[in-house]
A = this chain, B = another copy of it.
Amino acid sequence: MSVEAHAAERRRAPSMADVAELAGVSHQTVSRVLNDHPNVRPETAERVRDAISRLGYRRNSAARALVTRRSATIGVLTTSSALYGPTSTVVALEEAARERGYFVSLASVHTFEAERLLDALDHFMVQGVDGIVVIAPQDDVATAVEGVRTDLPVVMIAALDDDHLRPGTVSVAVDQRLGGRLVTDHLLDLGHRDVLHLAGPADWFDARERERGWSEALRDRGVEPGHVVRCDWSAQAGYDAGQRIADAVRAGDGPTAVFAANDQLALGVLRALWERGVRVPDDVSVAGFDDIAGAAFFVPSLTTVSQPFAAVGRQALTALTEAIGGAAVGARLIEPTLVVRASTAGPRA
């Protein structure tokens, strides 16, 4: 054997046949040991396992995928922003997936144009993923995903509202509406009646659900919700709205409490109020949503809603594996919790 051939031989990862030879069995027996087939004599299995560790053998997953038609990989589609929710969800999904022996393939999209989305999904299909989890916070994502003809099981992480909850769609989400209610009930309990809502973008499920939670909670107490201030998710938008709120409060006709649809908005509001000398929570209460890192150290520390992302990840994976297995699954909602801090208090007498 030439030196090159020998080097090539050494470089080559050991195959099942190599293991079989060393263990003195057939490659099929090695396969059986690896797949926990029942009918293998314990001492044979032992010999095989020994050979495996001696050779440092690793099963070739491409070959396995080729013949089993399953890749043990799930695709996770997310937004390319560093937004708190999606990011935390990705991490949670990865953990849940690995626990169950799945690999996670990631794809992200900047913009939610249908085309980019299709690219990403196509990417997954080419890769041969067994299922897809879409972190789909917006209408057009959900619509585009629903519109893609695919035999693959898809789980959407989205607080789908009735319009989008078509049969066949599997969704997992934090109960954003409940979160909105928790905040609003908290403010109502404190005695507020004029609770302004800074809503997120209207095409985001979470934004709509939080808003709905807010309005339902108010109506349940006989308070007619006012109009909402529509924002994007940025602190800048919160700041802009906060300036107007500050002016109104100082003019004596502002709300006594503000429920911002996320913590960034709340941060902007706090900043604007501070700039104009409106005190929180003395003059106006402010609450947020997400409980991002640092929210406890805002000035004042922020009352907000904490979301159980780990649970979302696990539930999504459960739903997906069930779907892969062919079982029918419906929507799952997971409850968030209210975190009361110093930015909310009773209205001035």
Contacts and interface: CB of A to CB of B under 8 A. Distances in A.
Interface of A: 11, 58-63, 65-66, 71, 73, 76, 80-82, 84, 87-88, 90-91, 94-95, 98, 103-108, 122-123, 125-128, 151, 234-236, 238-239, 264, 267-268, 270-271, 274, 293-294, 296-299, 301
A116 B81 CA distance: 28
Contacts of A107: 94, 98, 104
Contacts of A80: 91, 94-95
Nearest to A238: B297
Contact of A297 (B123, B127, B239): B239
A91 B108 contact: yes
A91 B82 contact: yes
Nearest to A242: B297
A296 B235 contact: yes
B271 A62 contact: no
A123 B106 contact: no
Nearest to A79: B91
A62 B129 CA distance: 10
A235 B94 contact: no
A204 to B, nearest CB: 17
A105 B108 contact: no
B294 A270 contact: no
Nearest to A87: B87
Contact of A108 (B60, B82, B95): B95
Given A105-B104, A108-B95, A264 B62 contact: no
B103 A127 contact: yes
A80 to B, nearest CB: 5
B105 A106 contact: yes
Given A63-B66, A267-B294, A271-B299, A103 B123 contact: yes
B294 A264 contact: yes
A264 B297 CA distance: 9
Contacts of A293: 82, 234-235, 264
21 contacts: A58-B125, A58-B126, A62-B128, A63-B66, A65-B65, A73-B105, A80-B95, A82-B84, A82-B91, A82-B293, A94-B106, A94-B107, A98-B123, A104-B105, A104-B106, A105-B105, A235-B294, A239-B297, A264-B293, A264-B294, A267-B298
Contact of A82 (B59, B88, B296): B88
Given A80-B95, A104-B106, 11 more contacts: A58-B126, A61-B127, A62-B62, A80-B91, A94-B107, A98-B123, A103-B123, A235-B293, A235-B294, A268-B297, A271-B299
